[in-house]
């Protein structure tokens, strides 16, 4: 009876020791789990030899760990037992812990996990009654704890692998997005340049007229200066006045050429704080002949108190130019041709511009489509002008939209944020 009580107490002690295993194995890699189990079997449970084999469910390297020593006879028995098990458990046993001076050991093999899916535990002991029911129970509990910990370690490993795959896929996707975005940006830049070139062709008459005016003024002033100087008594004062006219006309021609070169060159400029009303006047100056030849009346309602906007000057000029050119074309079939351009400050740090015409108007069913690439209602249109306008405005964190006019025609409007406070000085514009 006394011996039985001692055995029960020892069994309870061993069960308590085994119950601490799961907490110690949380987040631990498989090899330390196997080594820890083998050490507990020979250390805490007083078995003479322990062999732990953990299988990699993904077909990787098998983990073998031993603790204690055994005779060559025992290892022969163990290898023979392994050869009868499932193929995944039959791998040749390689050990260095042979000591034939030891007493013969009795052995037992316990699978880890259902049908040994995770591996096995083999134990050798000198006791003649080994293995008892208590031994089997303790080994089964230890094997179950190892199976749970091993499965947890595999899940952690699988999760890390999955996270790594997701990270790689995300990185690849981000690279593809960056490459695709760059490609689209290059394509849009090319289309934007082509649009400017096409516009230059359409405006050839206007450009010629704008440059011819100051050149003609230079010729007339030069002729006048020659006449004043050719008199018997040269009129120096009048000749100086003619030379002043030549200088002013030369500066005017230079300004026109500079504006045209900036608008139609391939590369755009860095963003800078610009006067939006002045930019509108520059575009109207370039289009003056086009507006006059099409008998378009121009009305401007520009708020002189609006702050500067931080934009690419060339790109924003192109937006205004495209909108005005579209308005001119929309009014060719009507007799009353009025173009109204407005600017105003809306909300805090928001600047608003509208281009209104009295043309045929936008079909309400097309309002959502007119900014799409390749969509056009013109007989010879390419369908990229308004798409480019939208791309430019949105690249400046703004928005652009179109509505029907109050009575007739269309209103194209866009908004941009400003980078200058409300304390800006009021700027004076040309009438």
**Residue range 391-417, pLDDT digits in tens:** 889 888 899 998 888 778 899 999 998
- Same domain, yes or no, for 41 and 103? yes
Domain boundary among 267, 283, 312: 267
SS3 310: strand
Return d(Cα 290, Cα 302) in angstroms, integer: 21
Q: Which of 9, 118, 136 lies closest to 54 in space, CA to CA? A: 118
**Predicted confidence (pLDDT) at residue 296 exceeds the cutoff of 70:** yes
Please name the helix (run of DSSP H) or strand (run of DSSP E) that holds residue 108, with its range, or none: strand 106-112
- Same domain, yes or no, for 146 and 90? yes
pLDDT-derived band at 360, boundaries 50, 70, 90? confident
Q: Which of 285, 310, 307, 309 lies closest to 298 in space, CA to CA? A: 285
Return d(Cα 393, Cα 384) in angstroms, integer: 14
Domain boundary among 234, 251, 267: 267
Q: Which of 183, 429, 400 lies closest to 284 in space, CA to CA? A: 429
Residue 177 forms part of a structural domain:
no
Please tell me which residue, 311 or 369, carries the higher pLDDT value.
Answer: 311
**Predicted confidence (pLDDT) at residue 7 exceeds the cutoff of 80:** no
- Same domain, yes or no, for 141 and 242? no
- Same domain, yes or no, for 343 and 276? yes
- Same domain, yes or no, for 94 and 219? no
- Which residues are bridge partners to 404 per DSSP? 410
Vertex 32: Cα angle to 28 and 37 (nearest 5): 110
Instruction: Write out the two tokens for 359.
Output: 């043309």
Residue 186 forms part of a structural domain:
no
- Same domain, yes or no, for 56 and 41? yes
Phi and psi dihedrals of 177, rounded to 5? -65, -45
Strands 119-125 and 106-112, bridge-based pairing: antiparallel
- Same domain, yes or no, for 35 and 122? yes
Q: Are 296 and 326 in contact (CB under 8 A)?
A: no
Calculate the average pLDDT of the chain: 77
Residue 190 forms part of a structural domain:
no
pLDDT-derived band at 299, boundaries 50, 70, 90? very high
- Same domain, yes or no, for 248 and 294? no
Query: Mind listing the pLDDT tens digit for each residue in 8-36?
Result: 566 566 656 666 666 667 767 888 888 88
Q: What is the CATH number of the domain that holds 155?
A: 3.30.450.40
**Predicted confidence (pLDDT) at residue 213 exceeds the cutoff of 80:** no
Total domain count for the chain? 3
pLDDT at 381: 47
| Residue 216 belongs to domain spanning | 203-267
Q: Which of the 8 DSSP states describes residue 349?
A: T
Q: Which of 59, 54, 57, 66 lies closest to 30 in space, CA to CA? A: 54
Q: Is the dihedral of CA 278, 283, 285, 288 positive or negative?
A: negative
Return d(Cα 11, Cα 141) in angstroms, integer: 12
Q: Which of 391, 267, 256, 419 lies closest to 322 in space, CA to CA? A: 391
């Amino acid at each position: 009876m006394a011996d039985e009580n001692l055995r029960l107490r020892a069994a309870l002690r061993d069960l308590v020791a085994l119950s601490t295993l799961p907490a110690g194995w949380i987040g631990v890699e498989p090899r330390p789990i196997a080594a820890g189990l083998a050490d507990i079997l020979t250390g805490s449970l007083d078995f003479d030899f322990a062999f732990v084999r953990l299988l990699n469910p993904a077909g990787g390297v098998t983990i073998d760990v031993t603790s204690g020593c055994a005779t060559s006879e025992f290892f022969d028995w163990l290898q023979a037992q392994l050869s009868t098990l499932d193929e995944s458990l039959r791998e040749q046993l390689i050990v260095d812990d042979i000591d034939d001076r030891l007493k013969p050991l009795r052995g037992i093999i316990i699978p880890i996990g259902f049908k040994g899916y995770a591996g096995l535990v083999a134990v050798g002991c000198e006791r003649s009654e080994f293995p008892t029911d208590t031994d089997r129970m303790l080994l089964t509990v230890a094997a179950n704890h190892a199976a749970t910990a091993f499965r947890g370690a595999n899940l952690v490993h699988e999760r890390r692998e999955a996270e790594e795959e997701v990270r790689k896929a995300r990185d690849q996707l981000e690279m593809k997005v960056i490459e695709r975005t760059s490609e689209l940006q290059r394509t849009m830049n090319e289309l934007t340049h082509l649009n400017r070139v096409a516009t230059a062709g359409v405006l050839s008459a206007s450009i010629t007229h704008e440059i011819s005016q100051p050149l003609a003024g230079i010729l007339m002033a030069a002729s006048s200066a020659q006449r004043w100087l050719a008199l018997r008594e040269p009129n120096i004062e009048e000749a100086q006045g003619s030379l002043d006219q030549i200088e002013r006309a030369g500066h005017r021609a230079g300004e026109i050429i500079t504006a045209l070169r900036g608008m139609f060159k391939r590369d755009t400029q860095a963003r800078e704080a610009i006067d939006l009303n002045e930019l509108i006047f520059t575009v109207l100056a370039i289009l003056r002949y086009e507006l006059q030849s099409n008998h378009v009346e121009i009305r401007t309602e520009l708020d002189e108190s609006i702050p500067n906007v931080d934009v690419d000057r060339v790109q924003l000029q192109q937006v205004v130019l495209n909108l005005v050119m579209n308005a001119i074309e929309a009014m060719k079939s009507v007799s009353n041709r009025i173009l109204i351009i407005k600017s105003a400050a809306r909300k805090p740090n928001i600047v608003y511009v509208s281009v209104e015409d009295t043309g045929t108007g936008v079909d309400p069913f097309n309002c959502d489509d007119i900014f799409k690439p390749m969509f056009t209602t013109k007989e010879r249109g390419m369908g990229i002008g308004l798409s480019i306008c939208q791309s430019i405005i949105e690249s400046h964190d703004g928005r652009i939209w179109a509505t029907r006019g109050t009575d007739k025609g269309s209103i194209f409007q866009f908004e941009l944020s400003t980078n200058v406070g409300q304390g800006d000085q009021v700027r004076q514009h040309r009438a």
